[in-house]
Structure 1
Amino acid sequence: MEGTLLAYLHHHATERPHAPALRVKRLGVWQKTSWKELLERTLRLAGGLWALGLREGEVLAILGYNAPEWVEAELAAQTLGALPMGIYADAMPEEVGYFLEFTGAKGIVVSDEEQLDKVYPHLHLVDFVLVWEEAGMSRHFQGKVLRFSQALGDPKVGEEALKKRRPEEIALLAPTSGTTGRSKLAMLSHQNLLAGHFALGQALGFQKGAWVFSYLPLPWIGEQMLTVVQGLVEGSTVHFPEDPTTLREDLKEVQPDFFLAPPRLWEDMASLIQSRMADADLLKAFFYRVGMG
């Protein structure tokens, strides 16, 4: 286990068990998962995935928006020595089928009904489907389609598997951009991801225990480095917005120490601020001008 991402999870769960590892906003309330809870859920999910037939070297696909369940599924797969593979939430059903068939995925974890509908045409390719947003989904849970909570199994299976993990093992299958053809998959080991993190840390100066806001797609390696890898290594608290439409309000509430955004988002935020300041009262306009130098 030493030298793996999972070793950092175990360290934080032991040294600071009640510190927040993940926070997600649901129904307007921020819900916390501590480091101890994250490790416990990871081990239980690993046990459940093992019972469903997932084995070392096999692929577990994950399809959906950013959420604690995504991270739990990824870490549980790594615990078993399986290969987590993220699929972009806006992928078309044909693309989902391509990845499932191309990798021979054993199973897939999806966020909700919208993503489940993309899997149905390709249900014959996998042994199981887990859905983490269970509300209003009761009629779907039959055959291969299961509740995420049903897959929480024996943690002892996860504990034994965890001891066998090595730094050189593949920790992640990351899709490429696909600009010159169909997207391919980069095989990244624990060593690869940790080396990348420490190189980034030297340039960006990551803080221990920083608050991080996760909203960019988790299949993208950049978000993986900042959400999963930075979160585990630095003991950061990773926050997930309630919904893409509430992103700005949730961001204001979190006030993260580190925030990555594409140029378009920065432009949109600057435009919104400037338009509001154009209609602001004299006092607000004065402080805005002072703040902008």
Structure 2
Amino acid sequence: MSVHELKRPPLADTAEWRVELPKALEQLRHWAQISPLQPALRHKRHGQWFVWRWIDVLRDVERLADGLRQQGFIEDSRLALSGAFEPNLLLLALAAQHIGGQLLTLPENLDPETLHKILWRSSPTHAFVQGRQTQQCWLHQGQSLLSFNDLIGPVDTPQRLNRWSKNPQLWSEEGTQWQAGLTVLLEQWLTSGHSLAFPESPGSASRDRREVAPSGLLLSAERLQLLAAEIESRLAPHDTWRRRLCDWAIAHPEKGLQRLIKNRVRRLLGFHNLHFIWQATRSPDAQPQPTWLTEFKRDIA
């Protein structure tokens, strides 16, 4: 996780990658004031869940803002973010908003030529990048590196999470390749005041999601298709009696036996607490969703 200082051309074209969060700091202060000790963020690191309370989030944002100022970040500066969505990235985004600078998100899987063109067009003054391979690509563009820890300075380690509360729990397993994703996450999280959780890595997302059993999923259209494929792989094959039993249960959940079967399948999938899936407007050529997803309420962008 690193911050890079980048050269600036005379004019910057940032519209394609810019993130607008006009109310984010006001909303964060609201939750830190009325629910300071309630969980705000959860993240799995090295096999252990950690939690940030609302007051922790606000304090870390203020520390990071001070660290950014020491690196020359001002109101006219532009911070580029690239990598998986997780607490460090969100905290740094809010810190840039705290100063009044501009925020950009760039996909982490860009090839060197495309990355060079985007950096030249968008002209970020600073950038936070996750993942060794992505960091190497940025290094090859001649950027110096600073660590997240250097920005935030001495700070208490986030608390280990020993048990999950029954409060609503949002879930994200996305990254900056979802262009609108940061706006969606921050709006849903800061508007609702619900805790937002992240997996340890993309490879562990399915297992970690089942541990969390979230009440709401924040998904891009691409991720929703991957989730649909995951569900399909975990259900019995088509034209088998077990699959017909599952389909029968979802079609008639009002009866006792069907409801019991449906609830067991939902628990297997980690959906036993799920109430809604946020997703962007679907394209006309999008594939139909499986019945195990279509039953959930969706907030459409």
TM-score tier by shorter-chain length is: 0.5 to 0.7
Q: Partner residue of 1:267?
A: 228
Shift of 1:84: 1.4
Between the aligned partners of 1:39 and 1:90, the Cα distance in structure 2 is 31
Between the aligned partners of 2:180 and 2:67, the Cα distance in structure 1 is 29
Contact 1:210–1:257, Cα closer than 8 Å, also in 2: yes
Where does structure 1 lack aligned partners over 5 or more consecutive residues? 125-143, 156-208
Shift of 1:266: 4.2
Report the secondary structure of 1:76's partner residue: helix
| 1:109/1:289 CA distance change after superposition, 3 Å | same
Q: Partner residue of 1:151?
A: 151
Shift of 1:216: 2.5
Shift of 1:217: 2.7
Shift of 1:285: 7.9
CA deviation map 1:166-224 (0-9, x unaligned): xxxxxxxxxxxxxxxxxxxxxxxxxxxxxxxxxxxxxxxxxxx7311111234535422
Q: Partner residue of 2:84?
A: 65
Identity of aligned residues (%): 24
* Equivalent residues, number: 217
Q: Partner residue of 1:245?
A: 203
Q: Partner residue of 1:214?
A: 172
| 1:153/1:99 CA distance change after superposition, 3 Å | farther
Report the secondary structure of 1:268's partner residue: helix
Shift of 1:61: 0.8
Between the aligned partners of 1:12 and 1:50, the Cα distance in structure 2 is 25
Where does structure 2 lack aligned partners over 5 or more consecutive residues? 1-21, 156-166, 253-301
| 1:98/1:154 CA distance change after superposition, 3 Å | farther
Shift of 1:265: 2.1
Contact 2:81–2:129, Cα closer than 8 Å, also in 1: yes
Contact 2:107–2:179, Cα closer than 8 Å, also in 1: no
Q: Partner residue of 1:103?
A: 122
Between the aligned partners of 1:272 and 1:256, the Cα distance in structure 2 is 20
| 1:25/1:81 CA distance change after superposition, 3 Å | same
Q: Partner residue of 1:195?
A: none
Report the secondary structure of 1:21's partner residue: strand
The normalised TM-score by structure 2 is 0.65
Between the aligned partners of 1:50 and 1:154, the Cα distance in structure 2 is 16
Report the secondary structure of 2:197's partner residue: strand
Contact 1:277–1:285, Cα closer than 8 Å, also in 2: yes
Shift of 1:276: 6.5
Report the secondary structure of 1:73's partner residue: helix
Between the aligned partners of 1:49 and 1:72, the Cα distance in structure 2 is 12
The one-letter amino acid of 1:220's match is W
Contact 1:23–1:237, Cα closer than 8 Å, also in 2: yes
Between the aligned partners of 1:268 and 1:52, the Cα distance in structure 2 is 44
RMSD over aligned Cα atoms: 2.7
| 1:63/1:113 CA distance change after superposition, 3 Å | same
| 1:244/1:278 CA distance change after superposition, 3 Å | farther
The normalised TM-score by structure 1 is 0.66
Q: Partner residue of 2:271?
A: none
Contact 2:172–2:196, Cα closer than 8 Å, also in 1: yes
Report the secondary structure of 2:135's partner residue: helix
Shift of 1:15: 1.2
